[in-house]
Chain A
């Protein structure tokens, strides 16, 4: 068994590989040097099929595809055009502004078909390709939701950053948008409903509004697709009914602001977050980088610090920059804006950097290979 870590950074992509011990790592890259690599993800149906979102303020969006686990790449389609009337959303100042494509934040390959892949984009919309990324079509039911004109960007832009499939129901999918909130489709992306009941956001005029919440990340364990965990702008939340309702599980966290959240591969009630001091101070409290783990599905958290810097550390961990492998015990990985990628081969008890001087890390994904 091998583990392959796919890292997107501000200036290129990197691929880190190891055997099951996860102690020695080979590093390849930078792939697409000089470009922002927002996300690299492999197909669950064919692990050697990778997709990468490559973008640049100068040259716009590219999508790259690999059929050999990242050894070679080919550029595929980069035409992302909204379907039908563009419509408007709200700008930061409350004025209306037309939807405008900016970049692909997240690529989610289908669970079953390597040629089918979904893209979450800024300004928020979901696209799908059924031909390996050559052609992209918007699934407009989401953007055309009646609440669309009320959506506003978060500080990082109005991005669709999370796409989760229900492995037991091919027509059910969850997505999250900063700062519109979470949505679910039960009919294969034709229609969507906001699933934000129970969220409480003091930074919007109506703290319990149907939309407008700045959801940073949602995670799910494949064995329990009705149980969702959310790291919101502030608050760590949990839903046991596929998002119909949420309750706060921040418990004893030192701060419940943060970006990432993930679930242990073998323990559906074991979850991980990286607490960040505040929305204006995007670094760990007291300069001490800590992962917090709950083995009770939230509320009761323990700090995991062994091997992580405990002084003078002022990095951030962005929303797509944590992942878990399927080895035993579960490996946990995260990347920082300081360019470190940390790995724990034992469910978070011990940590070590795989690499420590990359460009700022935007995303981390992990593949567990036979």
Chain B
């Protein structure tokens, strides 16, 4: 079970509280996590990555194990502890703007 922490605005859009827990089939990567997240919560499509290019939106970052994974390739496996559900995968909005 993969644990995902969403920023507050996305939790509200998806009508969830706290962490999201997802089943991810196969190798656990950023892409497979986001695919599973968007399959469970279609309202989040387009809010984290572009509908067409699938590029991460510029003011969002991905963190896990206190590491910034944002610039990892989408198909790079995430750390084992994230794949095992020991550590959460964090989707974080930039502290920017007004």
Which residue of A is nearest B48, CB measured?
A59
* B59/A75 in contact, CB under 8 A: no
Give every chain B residue within 8 A of A58 (Cβ-Cβ).
Answer: 7, 9, 57, 59-60, 93-94, 97
Which residue of B is nearest A75, CB measured?
B43
Give every chain B residue within 8 A of A35 (Cβ-Cβ).
Answer: 9
In the complex with contacts A79-B51, A81-B51, A81-B52, A59-B10 CB distance below 8 A: yes
Give every chain B residue within 8 A of A78 (Cβ-Cβ).
Answer: 45-47, 51
* Interface SS majority for chain B: loop
Which residue of A is nearest B10, CB measured?
A59
Chain A nearest CB, measured from B84 CB (Å): 29
Could you tell me the distance between the alpha carbons of A56 and B47 in the complex, rounded to whole angstroms? 9
Which of the residues B57, B94, B96 comes within 8 Å of A60, measured between beta carbons? B57
Q: Which of A34, A58, A78, A81 has the most CB of B within 10 A?
A: A58
| Total chain A interface residues with beta-carbon distance under 8 A | 13
Could you tell me the distance between the alpha carbons of A283 and B47 in the complex, rounded to whole angstroms? 35
Give every chain A residue within 8 A of B57 (Cβ-Cβ).
Answer: 58-60
* A59/B47 in contact, CB under 8 A: yes
Could you tell me the distance between the alpha carbons of A66 and B43 in the complex, rounded to whole angstroms? 15
Chain B nearest CB, measured from A180 CB (Å): 24
Q: Does B65 belong to the interface (CB within 8 Å)? A: no
In the complex with contacts A57-B59, A57-B97, A79-B9 CB distance below 8 A: no
Q: Does A294 belong to the interface (CB within 8 Å)? A: no
Q: Does B13 belong to the interface (CB within 8 Å)? A: yes
Q: Does A368 belong to the interface (CB within 8 Å)? A: no
Chain A nearest CB, measured from B92 CB (Å): 10
* A79/B45 in contact, CB under 8 A: yes
Could you tell me the distance between the alpha carbons of A75 and B51 in the complex, rounded to whole angstroms? 16
Q: Does A347 belong to the interface (CB within 8 Å)? A: no
Interface 1/0 per residue, B1-26 and A, CB below 8 Å: 00000010110010000000000000
In the complex with contacts A79-B51, A81-B52, A56-B45 CB distance below 8 A: no
Could you tell me the distance between the alpha carbons of A56 and B10 in the complex, rounded to whole angstroms? 11
Give every chain A residue within 8 A of B97 (Cβ-Cβ).
Answer: 57-58
Which residue of B is nearest A76, CB measured?
B43
| CB proximity to B under 8 Å, residues A37-64 | 56-62
* Closest 6 pairs between A and B when the two form their complex, measured CB to CB: A59-B47, A58-B59, A58-B93, A75-B43, A79-B51, A78-B46
Question: Which residues of A does B touch, CB under 8 Å?
Answer: 34-35, 56-62, 75, 78-79, 81
Question: Which residues of B does A touch, CB under 8 Å?
Answer: 7, 9-10, 13, 43, 45-48, 51-52, 57, 59-60, 93-94, 96-97
Residue pairs across A and B with Cβ atoms less than 8 A apart, 10 shown, are: A57-B96, A58-B9, A58-B94, A58-B97, A59-B57, A60-B47, A62-B43, A62-B47, A78-B47, A79-B45
**Given A59-B9, A59-B93, A62-B47, 9 additional A-B pairs, CB 8 A:** A56-B9, A57-B97, A58-B57, A58-B97, A60-B46, A75-B43, A78-B51, A79-B45, A81-B51
